[in-house]
Amino acid sequence: MKTDRILWCAMAAHEMNRVYCKSIGDASQPLWEDAPEWQRNSAIAGVQGALAGNTPEQQHQAWLDVKAIDGWKYGPVKDTEKKEHPCMVPYADLPEAQRRKDRLFIAAVRAMLDATEPVSP
């Protein structure tokens, strides 16, 4: 798959994630253009996982693995300076709103992939 399609999928999934987070009271997600490189890279990795057929559980586990390697741990509230996050738990222990976010991310990737499919003349 062309890299530009992966990037478009990552941008769309990131924006869907940002808007969804805002709808559940989390206004901490920046626009793609303002997102730090690590966050963009996380979205791209999420797209690659979704394209590989990852389930929402697998997507979350991949995210957990990357965060843990980077020194993140569980904390009751997201704190980027302390590297603490309330989602640093197994998928089954996530609140439904967070599990829904993983499902929506995959759906956004699939929809964008379909939308960017070249049209035959």
For residue 60, pLDDT over 80 is answered with yes
pLDDT of residue 1: 52
Nearest partner of 84 among 59, 99, 67, 96, judged by Cα: 67
Mean pLDDT of the chain: 92
The alpha carbon torsion through 79, 59, 27, 16 (nearest 10 deg) reads 160
Report the alpha-carbon distance of residue 1 to residue 39 in Å, rounded.
22
Banded pLDDT at 31 (limits 50, 70, 90): very high
Q: In this predicted model, what pLDDT tens digit does every residue of 80-106 receive, in sequence order? A: 899 999 999 999 999 999 999 999 999
Across 3-15, average pLDDT: 93
pLDDT of 114 over the 60 cut? yes
CA separation for the pair 76, 85 (Å, rounded):
7
Q: DSSP readout, 60-90?
A: HHHHHHHHHHTT-EE-SS-BTTTTEETT-S-
Give the pLDDT score at 115: 84
Backbone angles phi, psi at 18, to 5 degrees: -60, -45
